[in-house]
Amino acid sequence: MSALKNIIIGAGISGAVVARKIAEELNETVLVIDRKDHIAGNIYDYKDSKTGITIHKYGPHIFHTNLEEVWKFLSKFTEWHYFFLKPNVMIEGKAVTLPFNLTTLYEVFSYPMAKDLEIKLVNKYGYGVKVPILDLRNNDDDNLNFLAGYVYEHVFKNYTTKQWGLKPEEIDASVTARVPVYISHDNRYFQDKYQGIPLNGYTKMVEKILDHPNIKVRLNTDYKDVKGDFDRIIYTGAIDEFFNYKFGELPYRSLYFDVRTENKEYFQKAVVTNYPNEYDFTRITEHKYFLDEKSEKTVISIEYPQAFENGKNERYYPISNPENQALYEKYREEANNTKNLYFLGRLGDYKYYNMDLAVERALKFFEEEIK
């Protein structure tokens, strides 16, 4: 075993993937630390002791990707439960198909009206096309403008205001474009080639990634309390925190999850139901659907968005806008000036990565900057 010593801060998916590559391909030792009492970061799941249901502690996680390399890499560490996310959105008290698509048209409008809108949409944009809501609002057809206004009001405006504290047009357009109006009868949330949930859960998958003789994991350990010299420092926590906020704090959104056990077999029809216009929460997740688990009871998480407050709650979403990006770049420049110090991951890169992009970034980082 080489004496070269690496420390990776964060046992989330980003840190785990890099640790594995260094341990396996360079045969170097890696210490992975996390201040939480568990591995897997935000993709952590656990079995609820009362119902046996697998709970996604930090919100609903569905793996989906078109990146074959990423799918193949993770498939070395898990089998998959094949799963397509088909969420609902509550519109005027009725749970209907999300993303808003041609099926949804027929669920919310009368048949002739839905038919008319379907023909107009297909003629204007083409079947199978995804149109971000902010683009749909910019068209010159009265009927399509009515539709755009309807979807904006019933799906996007208040959900986005709750989630981000900002209106759709005040946040980076790529955020609402994640859930475009989909001119299709395909009711899946994602159309990626590879989709699923790790058959034995995300935590088990990360555990296997970290299971290598060159890797040591230390939990309940904050980087600021770690002593010792390391040849490489790879940090997947928040970059502003690492530098003691010397240029100011990078803003984030946070969440509070109200987890409840309900004394009935099923609570709702879909794994996730969004509530744009009712209540203060954004969505309810019913966990037993992920792995099709059976129980007489069911566990749900009600998700309340919050501002991130340092020391009080967790950083979940970087807030992408030019001002925050400029602040992030200052930290990145500072990092570039320090030898053998690297940042990556959703917090280290300050990017709204899905799991697959976090893995892709970790794999590329290893190839391009470490190997």
Pairing between β-strand 283-286 and β-strand 130-131 as defined by DSSP bridges: unpaired
d(CA 306, CA 252): 9
Count residues contacting ligand FAD (CB under 6 A)? 34
**Residue 160 near ligand UDP by CB under 6 A:** yes
**Residue 160 near ligand FAD by CB under 6 A:** no
Residue from the set 7, 8, 9, 155 that interacts with ligand FAD by CB under 6 A: 9
Please state, in angstroms and as integers, the Cα–Cα distance from residue 334 to each residue in 226, 320, 347, following that order. 21, 20, 16
Q: What mask, x for binding ligand FAD by CB under 6 A, covers residues 24 to 53?
A: ---------xxxx----xxx----------
Selection from ligand FAD, ligand UDP, none that 260 binds (CB < 5 to 8 A by kind) is none
Q: Is 43 left (phi over 0), alpha (psi -120 to 50) or beta?
A: alpha
Residue from the set 47, 94, 115, 178 that interacts with ligand UDP by CB under 6 A: 178
**Residue 305 near ligand FAD by CB under 6 A:** no
Residue 43 CB, shortest distance to ligand FAD, in Å, is: 5
Q: Which of 181, 153, 183 is nearest to 168 (CA)?
A: 153
Residue from the set 98, 102, 205, 284 that interacts with ligand UDP by CB under 6 A: 98
Residue 353 CB, shortest distance to ligand UDP, in Å, is: 10
Scanning 9-17, 35-43, 152-160, 207-215 for contacts with ligand UDP by CB under 6 A, the matching segment is 152-160
**Residue 355 near ligand FAD by CB under 6 A:** yes
Handedness of CA 59, 60, 66, 71 (dihedral sign): positive
Binding residues vs ligand FAD (CB under 6 A): 9-15, 33-36, 41-43, 58-63, 222-223, 236-237, 255, 316, 345-347, 353-356, 358
Binding residues vs ligand UDP (CB under 6 A): 89, 98, 155-156, 159-160, 163, 175-176, 178-179, 274, 276
